[in-house]
Amino acid sequence: MKTDHIAVTIAAMLAAFAAYGQSGGAPELPEGATVTADVPFANVDRHELALDLYMPAAVEHPPLLVWVHGGAWRAGSRKSVSTLAFVEAGYALASVSYRLSGVAPFPAQSHDIKGAIRFLRAHAADYGYDASRIGILGSSAGAHLAALVGVTNGNAELEGNVGGNLEQSSDVHAIVAYYPATNLVSILDQSTPFGLNVRVPALEALLGGAMDEKSELARLASPVFHVDADDPPLFLLHGDQDPQMPINQSHELHGVYKQHGLAAAFEVVHSSPHGGPAFYDADRNAMVGSFLDAHLRGGH
């Protein structure tokens, strides 16, 4: 009976964490900021992809951030943005759609996000932000995709041609990953039994088949295998009590970055599970904001 009660409690906890990352809209818009919603950037197999652009108040040509939502690759929406603190701090932020795993398997998601970045560069003058240096941020599955896009500029298998604008680069200059997956080859071995209940079906949907049949695709989808000396600075945040996305996933990417001598920061959010307000409180936003300022603003 006690074991059953624990199982039910943890199952409810997992559902709550998933709901936190998938439901609801963006936080309250900062005073004076504006949003241009539902900007289409591509149509793939009659599936429209769009973005929402948040612009800060009274900032001329603000630097640009790209937000990638979570939801186990199979749920969630660009309408769910975990924080708009950086808009209040003077950044433009584009929250982008990508095809979910129920619509198309990997690498469609990478193709879509890179297509959105090319579109944003091509239309910078139309909307008034500065796209010369771009930061990419995401949470959970979105953090996985943000990290992957960030370390694979020019990779032909992951670039795609979604939305055109192929004369534009999909390069980014800073990555912020909130509790990401980084190695789809190792993640199941690192997972708790409860985590496996979430992760196995999510990965099978993403990769289009069982993990033992999709090992090469899993490797292609893993940021840790793409890192090289030219990759942009990285900021990782992960809870040490995460039951869904093992914290070792962030340790792996952080370790590979350090092996290459790349700039990487890792904030362990103690006593925190998968997501939650602690990741976006004033202290963590200040840390991430300083990181973004250092790599996207003056001096670059």
Q: What is the pLDDT of residue 249?
A: 97
Length of the chain: 300
Residues 136-157, mean pLDDT to the nearest whole number: 97
Crossing angle for the helix pair 108-122 and 141-150, to the nearest 10 degrees: 60
Domains held by the chain: number: 1
179 found inside a domain = yes
Residues 158-168, mean pLDDT to the nearest whole number: 97
25 found inside a domain = no
15 found inside a domain = no
4 found inside a domain = no
Least confident of 17-21, 72-76, 140-144, 167-171: 17-21
Spacing of C-alpha 37 from chain mean position: 19
Q: 76-115: per-residue pLDDT in tens? A: 999 999 999 999 999 999 999 999 999 999 999 999 999 9
CA distances for 248 relative to 7, 18, 194, 224, 255, angstroms: 23, 20, 16, 12, 10
Q: How confident is the model at residue 198 (pLDDT cuts 50, 70, 90)?
A: confident
Residues 29-51, mean pLDDT to the nearest whole number: 95
Q: What is the pLDDT of residue 275?
A: 93
Q: What is the pTM of this model?
A: 0.91
Q: What is the pLDDT of residue 15?
A: 42
Q: Are 295 and 135 in contact (CB under 8 A)?
A: yes
Q: What is the pLDDT of residue 263?
A: 98
Residues 17-26, mean pLDDT to the nearest whole number: 46
- Read off the CATH number of the domain in which 287 is found: 3.40.50.1820
What's the CA gap between 5 and 22, in Å, rounded? Answer: 26
Q: What is the pLDDT of residue 27?
A: 79
Of 3 and 139, which is predicted with more confidence?
A: 139
Q: Is 74 helix (H, G, I), strand (E, B) or coil?
A: coil
Q: What is the pLDDT of residue 298?
A: 66
Whether the pLDDT of residue 180 is over 50: the answer is yes
Pairing of strands 174-178, 234-239: parallel
167: burial class by Cβ within 10 Å (0-12, 13-18, 19+)? exposed
Q: What is the pLDDT of residue 196?
A: 86
Q: What is the pLDDT of residue 191?
A: 86
Q: 245-276: per-residue pLDDT in tens? A: 999 999 999 999 999 999 999 999 999 999 99
247 found inside a domain = yes
Whether the pLDDT of residue 231 is over 60: the answer is yes
Q: What is the pLDDT of residue 24?
A: 47
Least confident of 43-52, 126-135, 187-196, 277-286: 187-196
174 found inside a domain = yes
| Best CA proximity match to 121, nearest among 110, 108, 136, 107 | 136
| Best CA proximity match to 122, nearest among 57, 51, 223, 68 | 51
Q: What is the DSSP letter of 277?
A: G
List, in order, residues 6 or more apart from 81 with CB less than 8 Å away.
Answer: 25, 26, 27, 52, 54, 67, 69, 93, 95
19 found inside a domain = no
91 found inside a domain = yes
Q: What is the pLDDT of residue 25?
A: 60
Residue whose pair of structure tokens reads 């809870």 in the numeric block: 239
Range of the domain at 129: 30-296
